[in-house]
Structure 1
Amino acid sequence: MTALLTDNLPLLAGAPNGIKKLRELILELAVRGKLVPQNPNDEPASELLKRIAAEKKGLSPKVKKSSDTPMGAVAFELPESWCWASFGDIAQHNSGKTLDKGKNSGVPRNYITTSNLYWGRFDLASVRQMLFEEKDLARCTAIKNDLLICEGGEAGRAAVWDQESEICFQNHVHRARFFGEINPYYAQRYFERLNYSGEIAEYRKGVGISNMSSKALASIPMPVPPLAEQHRIVAKVDELMALCDRLEAQQADAESAHAQLVQALLGSLTQATDAEDFAASWQRLAEHFHTLFTTESSIDALKQTLLQLAVMGKLVPQDPSDEPANELLKKITEEKARLVTEGELKKQKPLEEVRDDEALFELPSNWAWARFGNVCAIKGELVRPEDFPSLRQVAPDCIEKGTGRLTDNRTVKDSGVKGPNSRFFSGQIVYSKIRPSLSKAVLVDFDGLCSADMYPIDAFINPEFLLKEILSEVFLEQVRVAENRIKMPKLNQESLTGFVLPIPPLPEQHRIVAKVDQLMALCDQLKTRLTQARQLNEQLATALVEQAVA
């Protein structure tokens, strides 16, 4: 069965959450007797349990009491030389001392709590002290090879005390000291397996912060292998878990290197100085496209680069016959002045011309820089939600970050909103002005209400192009700078209207929108194929796991 594992490590480790599942499988095989071969020369576990029973005869009734606890239901069949036994049958266990400052007396000693006890290890950086009397020490002291188990917190979390020095423990920790030389590391791995499988929940009580009573602990059924096989299992599990650690580190290194490579090659596109430089950068990218874009994060990075190229004028060719952006901006100024005169638009404070030092990059000759407030108008009429129960309601939580997609179509009545909301209308962009949702915006095709944490925005350029600018790094970097400068939880109108945007001629805006939509659809298809491949990988890995434990 180990051969099945090792022969298929790349498949198992490469599946979604593959290494976590690989660890689960290792533990599952270990406690079912399928990880290492049985040796017919090993003394059977039944003989080990007889010796334990004899060892316990001379103990006090209090120590033997846990043996009387009925064993829980067993989960699977065992090899012939193994036996089931309740935890209380094979270990003497008890919890430690309760901290009671009013009654405490004795000598101050170091003690551990659940905050020091992790799966398979201890963190002793913050060990505290408590007074212990001499009569407490035998019951409340752990020695080397004792298994310590959380009674509270993540009840059942366990580690073997492997220090030569002794340590005291308090009442939210169980100490288990095994009879018959049972390997405590095997028991610890069994508790890990119970945690992975979720079966440990059967022995916990409480909602939120759970606990595991001594009675519940005693009732846990444990598969007991022959003593010699316990040692072989522990050695093999340690070996395979170390391999998982190395695989995890290699994966992390590979993912980090992959992300850096993707970022470097995509960055070369946006940083290209001329058409020749851009063509060379694109050629480098195209040659390795199928090896670069193999993760969701790399495809997301590609999408963001496409937006950046779009708003830099590098995605579609310029047409010299297009009316220049400067002329478009003049027309927008005239249109806004007309709307102010007609009472359709509030007169806004004149905005400063974009200075040369504010230009974020060089624009094509027929483009122009403009302030956000020059090409948009923020309209926020606050209304009472109860007056519009059937209208759609939009809030930051129902917009997907960075994509411009709505994830919910609830009504005002469904949302149960009580406070004032802003009215918006079809064709407007609704933009979240609150941290950490400053990359959430949507172009709506319906009338509705939005939370007071959002700006309804009228666009005087192509609204789909404006949405893409809002989702691009050109805009988001200015948001981050404003966040750091104003130290406020919300992006105010003054900051927003002062942002600078690259504005192409209107016909080019339409061409950019069409090209971006086409390329984003291809990216989504790439993501879908990636998801399908991962699902297939997961199905194959699941089939292997089922074969391994069958």
Structure 2
Amino acid sequence: MAETKAPNKNAEQLITEHLDIWTTAIEQKSSSGRGSSKKFSLHGIKKLRELILELAVRGKLVSQDPNDEPASVLLERIADEKAQLVKDKKIKKPKAQPAISEDEKPFELPKGWAWSRLQDIGHDLGQKAPDSEFTYIDVGSINKELGFVSEPNILKGEDAPSRARKIVKENTVIYSTIRPYLLNIAVIDKEFQPEPIASTAFAIIHPLSGLNSSYIYRYLRAPTFIGYVESVQTGVAYPAINDKQFFAGIIPIPPTKEQKRIVTKVDELMDLCDALEAQTENSIAAHQTLVEVLLDALLQAPEQNATSEQATVQFQQNWQRLSEHFDTLFTTTASIDTLKQTILQLAVMGKLVPQNPVDEPAGKLLERIAAEKAQLIKDKKIKKQKPLPEILDEEKLYELPSGWVWSRFGDLFKSFSNGLYKPSKFYTDEGVISLRMYNIQNGYIDFAGAKRVEVESNELAQFILEPNDLLINRVNSKELVGKTAIIPKSEEPLVYESMNMRAKPFIEHLSAQYLNLFMMTKAAQNFISSFAKEAVGQASINQGQVSSIIIPLPPFKEQQRIVTKIDELMTLCDQLKARLTNAQTTKLYLTDAIVENSIN
């Protein structure tokens, strides 16, 4: 038997040699806004899948066998077959395509392979308007990850949409030419009953004899063909290619037997990628669960009847257990975010900084605030507010340290007011900065992309923001509504729009920063989620609901100590996250470099 030519490097070697890179090159997704619950993308495994496909269609995945019939002979035979189909009027004669130039060929082919235009390896099956019950295959019917039709609809002829026109049958390859980056590609893998009809959004290839549908499908997903599509598609927000552009694309054709070997090997390696992906996701989930369990232990109430000294010992033991494994626990963005949330919660439970018995109790603080508020009402500087209900024992989330007290949020503020309504047509290059919901980011005001509006003098007086005002987002998605930020000092006037509300705290007696960090805790977010009303994808809260939130209030000096400690610890967390991000960026670049090097 003749010797076979092996590929440059065994694909399994590529996977095993760089296993750590494939499984640890993880790309973080933005945590703002709505969308997938997954906050990460397994970039390494994604690139590995692309590499497998690219090696496959370059002839580097399986061995060539010189006994295989060359692809040039196969192409001659299918050209004759296609000519016969045209002669028999079974298909229309396609327009002649130019010969493939050397400049079009993206890489050199192995011996026995040949280049062909997609138009020349198959044909379509015509079109018809359904006049009876049919199986409708549209883009939504495709399982694009596995490449088959999974959820077609059965429709009556009279209910057929205008796009239901293209005839398909078993072994037909369909390719969505609208938003091709979504890779809605499939092989019709069985006979459908009633008759299947596909949307005109698909380009249709029914392969001629000797061409493997599954090989064609894999080539259409390979980076080389994706690059070709990106070079010819039109449109930015809604890119597309037309059938002419699609069928002008070129495809490397291996011998028929090698096509089958390639498909088998690709399937085998994709199964391995599936296993790696599942293992990596399970490992990430297990790691996050461990982090949450250990951090939750810090937040647990002390055992019943435990003295304050015993509670302190219990907390210190839990902290010691955590700190011994700090370097191995906080190695992901999610774990650091969980640590940040735990730090905030520890702060408002009185566990972050020590209490000082000489501090004025928070109860005295509330008395002074109530007296000052009464005087402001008497002087007609603020309006009298509806009394807030007394805080019941069952509302209190946990036992507070000595000197702390529970308070309604509304009792700590002089006033709440909704913002200025100015449609976007009022935005100008002049005027004053008008803060929108997008400017509230992670407890701070982000001025990036801030808009300006022209306001009348009375509007400016009513809606001007002052340093230490609390800006609260009152209309947004369920996950984002209720986000807050402290207004910083500004050299120019700031106003705020109607999607937000402003709360003015008694800053002579309170730390606005402490109030803001409380609103960032899970406890505050739970309050907001419990009363936020949803309609058409938006959630809203009102002044009365925000006023009813209960907040654990420390003595004023302890508030300041907490804010200082939070700033210190959050800075450390951000530094930790920055180092992690830099390390991950290096791994992403390394992954891309390995893929590029393996191909070339």
TM-score, normalised to structure 1, is: 0.88
In structure 2, the partner of 1:122 is 149
How far 1:59 sits from its partner (Å)? 3.0
Q: Measure the CA separation in 1 of the matches of 2:248 and 2:427.
A: 60
Is 1:29 the equivalent of 2:39? no
In structure 1, the partner of 2:471 is 430
**What runs of 5+ residues in structure 2 fail to find an aligned partner?**
1-8, 27-42, 159-165, 303-310
What amino acid does structure 1 have at the position aligned with 2:189?
A: D
Is 1:300 the equivalent of 2:330? no
Q: In structure 2, the residue corresponding to 1:380 is in which secondary structure?
A: strand
Q: 1:157 to 1:231 in 2, by over 3 A?
A: same
Q: Measure the CA separation in 2 of the matches of 1:205 and 1:142.
A: 30
Q: Measure the CA separation in 2 of the matches of 1:451 and 1:476.
A: 22
Q: In structure 2, the residue corresponding to 1:5 is in which secondary structure?
A: helix
In structure 2, the partner of 1:10 is 20
For residues 332-481 of structure 1, the aligned pairs below 5 Å read 332-380=369-417, 389-400=430-441, 402-406=442-446, 408=448, 410-413=450-453, 422-436=463-477, 437-445=480-488, 446=490, 447-460=493-506, 461-481=510-530
Is the contact made by 2:347 and 2:353 (CA closer than 8 Å) also made in structure 1?
Answer: yes
How far 1:195 sits from its partner (Å)? 8.6
Is the contact made by 2:133 and 2:155 (CA closer than 8 Å) also made in structure 1?
Answer: no
Q: Measure the CA separation in 1 of the matches of 2:574 and 2:500.
A: 28
In structure 1, the partner of 2:96 is 68
Q: 1:164 to 1:492 in 2, by over 3 A?
A: closer
How far 1:382 sits from its partner (Å)? 6.1
Match of 1:228 among 232, 237, 257: 257
Q: Measure the CA separation in 1 of the matches of 2:291 and 2:183.
A: 43
Q: 1:356 to 1:170 in 2, by over 3 A?
A: closer
For residues 126-275 of structure 1, the aligned pairs below 5 Å read 126-130=153-157, 140-143=167-170, 145-150=171-176, 154=180, 157-163=184-190, 167-170=195-198, 172=200, 173-193=202-222, 197-202=226-231, 213-273=242-302, 274-275=311-312
How far 1:182 sits from its partner (Å)? 1.2
Q: 1:427 to 1:253 in 2, by over 3 A?
A: same
What amino acid does structure 2 have at the position aligned with 1:523?
A: C
Q: 1:414 to 1:8 in 2, by over 3 A?
A: farther
Q: Measure the CA separation in 2 of the matches of 1:4 and 1:256.
A: 27
Is the contact made by 1:56 and 1:64 (CA closer than 8 Å) also made in structure 2?
Answer: no
Is 1:537 the equivalent of 2:547? no
Q: Measure the CA separation in 1 of the matches of 2:534 and 2:69.
A: 73
How far 1:83 sits from its partner (Å)? 1.2
Q: Measure the CA separation in 2 of the matches of 1:485 and 1:158.
A: 37
1:481-536, CA deviations, whole angstroms, 9 ceiling, x for partnerless residues?
22269999421111211211111011111110010110000000010011011011
In structure 2, the partner of 1:528 is 578
What amino acid does structure 2 have at the position aligned with 1:217?
A: F
Q: 1:284 to 1:539 in 2, by over 3 A?
A: same
Q: Measure the CA separation in 2 of the matches of 1:187 and 1:384.
A: 56
1:287-336, CA deviations, whole angstroms, 9 ceiling, x for partnerless residues?
22222212111111111111111011010010111111111111112222
Identity of aligned residues (%): 36
How far 1:194 sits from its partner (Å)? 5.3
Q: In structure 2, the residue corresponding to 1:68 is in which secondary structure?
A: coil
Moved more, 428-437 or 108-117: 108-117
Moved more, 519-528 or 20-29: 20-29
What amino acid does structure 1 have at the position aligned with 2:14?
A: L
How far 1:151 sits from its partner (Å)? 5.4
Q: 1:199 to 1:407 in 2, by over 3 A?
A: farther
Q: In structure 1, the residue corresponding to 2:464 is in which secondary structure?
A: strand
Q: Measure the CA separation in 1 of the matches of 2:432 and 2:416.
A: 18
Is the contact made by 2:470 and 2:502 (CA closer than 8 Å) also made in structure 1?
Answer: yes
What amino acid does structure 2 have at the position aligned with 1:38?
A: Q
1:62-91, CA deviations, whole angstroms, 9 ceiling, x for partnerless residues?
647337233673322222322110112121
Q: 1:261 to 1:171 in 2, by over 3 A?
A: closer
Q: Measure the CA separation in 2 of the matches of 1:329 and 1:433.
A: 26
Is the contact made by 1:152 and 1:209 (CA closer than 8 Å) also made in structure 2?
Answer: yes
Tell me the matched-pair count: 532
1:343-387, CA deviations, whole angstroms, 9 ceiling, x for partnerless residues?
433222332332222211100011111111111123438668779
What amino acid does structure 1 have at the position aligned with 2:154?
A: V
Q: Which has the higher helix share?
A: 1
Q: 1:376 to 1:97 in 2, by over 3 A?
A: same
Q: 1:272 to 1:281 in 2, by over 3 A?
A: farther
Q: Measure the CA separation in 1 of the matches of 2:99 and 2:237.
A: 26
Q: 1:288 to 1:431 in 2, by over 3 A?
A: same
Moved more, 112-121 or 317-326: 112-121
Q: Measure the CA separation in 2 of the matches of 1:505 and 1:156.
A: 59
In structure 1, the partner of 2:138 is 113
Q: Measure the CA separation in 2 of the matches of 1:219 and 1:94.
A: 18
Is the contact made by 1:422 and 1:452 (CA closer than 8 Å) also made in structure 2?
Answer: no
1:34-86, CA deviations, whole angstroms, 9 ceiling, x for partnerless residues?
22233333332222222223333433256473372336733222223221101
What amino acid does structure 2 have at the position aligned with 1:362?
A: E
**What runs of 5+ residues in structure 1 fail to find an aligned partner?**
132-138
1:423-482, CA deviations, whole angstroms, 9 ceiling, x for partnerless residues?
211221111112323242111123410111212222221111111111112322211222
Is the contact made by 1:430 and 1:457 (CA closer than 8 Å) also made in structure 2?
Answer: yes
